[in-house]
Amino acid sequence: MNQNELKEITSRDVDFAQWYTDICKKAELIDYSSIKGCMVIRPYGYAIWENIQKELDRRFKETGHENVAMPMFISESLLQKEKDHVEGFAPEVAWVTHGGNEELPERLCVRPTSETLFCEHYANIVKSYRDLPKLYNQWCSVVRWEKTTRPFLRSREFLWQEGHTVHRTSEEAKEETLKMLNIYADFCENILAIPVIKGEKTAKEKFAGAENTYTIEALMYNGIALQSATSHYFGDNFAKAFHMKFMDKDNQEKYMYQTSWGLSTRIIGAMIMTHSDDHGLVLPPHIAPMKVTVIPIGKNHTEVIDKSYEIAKNLKLEGISCTVDDSEKSPGYRFAEAEMRGIPVRIELGPRDLEKNTCILVRRDTLEKVEVSLEHVLEEVVKLLSDIQNSMYFRAKMRRDEMTKSATTLEEMKKLSEQENGFIKAYWCGNRTCEEKIKEETGITSRCIPFEEDNQEGICCVCGKKAEHLVYWGKQY
């Protein structure tokens, strides 16, 4: 790739979908494989996922969760045990019918999610209230046979974590459900710099088999909503279907209460579509595999190169990942490459800078340049990284808020949704027919009933009856 080829990405304002694909490819996050809908996650993309894993895994373990590995296969009969669950998933699973040359006595699906496997396991190992709670998580890949696929956002196989817990009481299980939603929200906002709306899904949009589904909803640059993580409260629905009983303190056999919660590589797509621009990827410093790149200018200028490595060494000693790009490519090409890869801070150092005992810091989010003294480069980089992290969040939040409108009638919703994508806040009576009417008329769906409700009374934007909830509506990925 020459510099032009590298820079040749579609503008996000011209063709957002193409721009997104260009970034995934040119920042070397993914490659396509010959299996439709299954992608290769390349080293740079995978390093981002590893950082996401590290951050989340630490939070899970700090809150008492343990990792396990369940089988990747679910027998057809096991999948069918919970009625709503099988209806939700059976149409989109991949079926294994043969092992070697032999047909299997019962076909197996590749897990689309692992509730059924965890249920079977918990029924096996939990006997008494002393065995509760069990707070398990697993990092794995799952398969859903989607018709249309896009890197990270919707692929037939994707990586994720799925937490599955069982509890003695419904209160405890409900508390867990919300605790994990809050961990996701905190992670998205503070690490990925993605502002989210926390809320509950309507009955129509909830997970197959759940009593309640909670979600964090983010708004992408183009105004399309993205469900970024979900947390489900199952009550004892699965417990009844899978005979998951335990002996309680009062010597009564009772059903366990259950939750599950998950976040997937989809979140990488969310991060791209929240922050990136026409120069390529923009990564929040907290998740960037490489926080700083030093680019020496002036061919074979030994002192410049030595100084570049010295700066990198000092940054690394402070725990800031840093690389030196002293390859033979032109400075312009190296700048463009660092921008494409979304490295948060670029340090440019040339012979004239060195004479002045200065260097140039370029922040990736705004591309602003600032000259700093070489003596203070470390402090300046630390400050700049922190500033980038905060600015990215606030810029995204401001944009999200600007793209959030209110409507009081279906007519208004229609008009708003035709003008521009974004969240629409509107009151709703709680009736499914009104919810479906909105979808029919506007194409948008309920995203969530936000936790932070206003205290106003409202009337349903469709039927005009007294509203039960204020709801966020929007188009979704």
Write out the residues near a copy of itself by the rule CB under 8 A: 31, 33-35, 38-43, 46-47, 49-50, 66-75, 78, 90-101, 108, 110, 117, 120-121, 124-125, 136, 140-141, 143, 145, 156-157, 159
- Distance (Å, rounded) from C-alpha 340 to C-alpha 71? 38
- Distance (Å, rounded) from C-alpha 2 to C-alpha 133? 57
- Pairing type for strands 102-110 and 197-200 reads unpaired
Of 49 and 214, which CB lies nearer to a copy of itself in the complex structure? Answer: 49
Per DSSP (E only), the strands in 191-329 are 197-200, 212-219, 225-235, 245-247, 253-255, 257-264, 292-296, 322-324
| Minimum distance, C-beta of residue 89 to a copy of itself, in the bound complex (Å) | 10
| Minimum distance, C-beta of residue 389 to a copy of itself, in the bound complex (Å) | 25
Residues paired with 143 in a beta bridge? 157
- Distance (Å, rounded) from C-alpha 182 to C-alpha 188? 10
For residues 325 and 338, the answer to whether their CB atoms sit within 8 Å is yes
Of 308, 365, 358, 310, whose CA–CA distance to 331 is shortest? 308
Of 96 and 317, which CB lies nearer to a copy of itself in the complex structure? Answer: 96
| Minimum distance, C-beta of residue 105 to a copy of itself, in the bound complex (Å) | 10
Of 111 and 475, which CB lies nearer to a copy of itself in the complex structure? Answer: 111
Of 78 and 438, which CB lies nearer to a copy of itself in the complex structure? Answer: 78
For residues 120 and 242, the answer to whether their CB atoms sit within 8 Å is yes
Of 25 and 254, which CB lies nearer to a copy of itself in the complex structure? Answer: 25
- Distance (Å, rounded) from C-alpha 283 to C-alpha 49? 12
Opening angle at CA 13, ends 10 and 15, nearest 5: 50
| Minimum distance, C-beta of residue 180 to a copy of itself, in the bound complex (Å) | 18
| Minimum distance, C-beta of residue 139 to a copy of itself, in the bound complex (Å) | 9
| Minimum distance, C-beta of residue 152 to a copy of itself, in the bound complex (Å) | 12
Of 8 and 50, which CB lies nearer to a copy of itself in the complex structure? Answer: 50
